[in-house]
Structure 1
């Protein structure tokens, strides 16, 4: 006889590292840490390493806790498809903690065909809201980038130049430039000392070489 397992699934975006709140909710439900799966990834699709690992472990009768529906995913069609795969194909259950009184697939299962109809309606509504929120986020990002460009602002990290090196980097450059030119240290060693990437390193070396000859 198989034993029912209880799992927790957590997702935070790569820009939002605050997984502690979701994790604590799972622990409060008595879920073992080894049965909590967490991805730091976009919710646009289900190509997530830990989610796929969880999916492989789910068996009939198992229960999966998720903090909110948008933690499962943000794509309208995919969320509905995945929910139905877990609850109807695998015959496991999902509880959404944010809407626990409403979104507990066990309640819908007990109501038979009428439960399926109600579940579909509620799921479609919430998945639609999650999908629209994702689109709004993308629109706001695009508008922000366009506005910044219109104002002549530089996006991303500022480029590192010879004049932007800090005091420690400037000293390392001065003390090791000749050694590098005479091939007494390698380029990899030198760029590691400076903490620079390859393209930036060679650009600054060119600038410094030119500056010392003028």
Structure 2
């Protein structure tokens, strides 16, 4: 099934140009939003996501009607691919039901992966640099050494419940169990 999505940025704009093109392309259902593309919460687009099923094709007048940024557009394309849904953009002439459209789609995917890898590399370089300057990352430890030893001792004595021990030292159960596991290694 061809499902169309049209969006205009302001209330005084008219989506007729887009909806006419979507109807001409054969869309059986068309969802619309009159909202800025920078807004993440778009009711029409949320409805599109609910309605789309494997084998359907999402049709947009232009790609910028779908995504509010390149990152957002790439996220949409990855979601569509995972769900087995094709994408067709009328103005850019992209149709992932064709070989050329699939190529363009995969180029977008490769760019997204490249961007993720660059972010990981920059993050690792930043962490390495911080460590070289003596900075330690991560969340501070919940308990100091003495409180940790007390919690482990109370747990091993088996006189108090786990809930009571957690309440006394001020940690959640998973944290207590993590300290217990670390002490047994």
- TM-score (norm. length: structure 1): 0.47
1:105 and 2:99 are equivalent in the alignment: no
CA contact (8 A) 1:107 1:115 kept: no
1:55 and 2:49 are equivalent in the alignment: yes
| Aligned residue number for residue 17 of structure 2 | 21
- Mind listing any 5+ residue stretches in structure 2 that lack a counterpart? 114-185
1:108 Cα deviation after fit: 4.9
| Aligned residue number for residue 66 of structure 2 | 72
CA contact (8 A) 1:69 1:96 kept: yes
Q: How many residues align?
A: 113
The structure where helix makes up a greater share of residues is: 1
CA contact (8 A) 1:10 1:71 kept: yes
Question: SS at the partner of 1:36?
Answer: strand
Question: SS at the partner of 1:98?
Answer: coil
| Aligned residue number for residue 77 of structure 2 | 83
1:68 Cα deviation after fit: 0.5
| Aligned residue number for residue 87 of structure 2 | 94
CA distance in 1: counterparts of 2:105 and 2:73, whole angstroms? 16
CA contact (8 A) 2:78 2:109 kept: no
Cα distance per residue 1:62-110 (max 9 Å; x no partner): 0111000111122221111112101x2111011010011xx21223599
1:120 and 2:109 are equivalent in the alignment: yes
Q: 1:1-214, aligned counterparts within 5 Å?
A: 5-32=1-28, 35-86=29-80, 88-100=81-93, 103-108=94-99, 117-120=106-109
Cα distance per residue 1:18-46 (max 9 Å; x no partner): 211101101112223xx100000111143
CA distance in 2: counterparts of 1:10 and 1:92, whole angstroms? 18
Root-mean-square deviation (CA), in Å?
Answer: 2.7
CA contact (8 A) 1:10 1:67 kept: yes
Question: SS at the partner of 1:74?
Answer: coil
Question: SS at the partner of 1:52?
Answer: helix
Note closer, same or farther for the CA distance 1:109–1:98 as it changes in structure 2 (3 Å cut).
Answer: closer
CA contact (8 A) 1:44 1:74 kept: yes
CA contact (8 A) 1:12 1:39 kept: yes
- Mind listing any 5+ residue stretches in structure 1 that lack a counterpart? 125-214
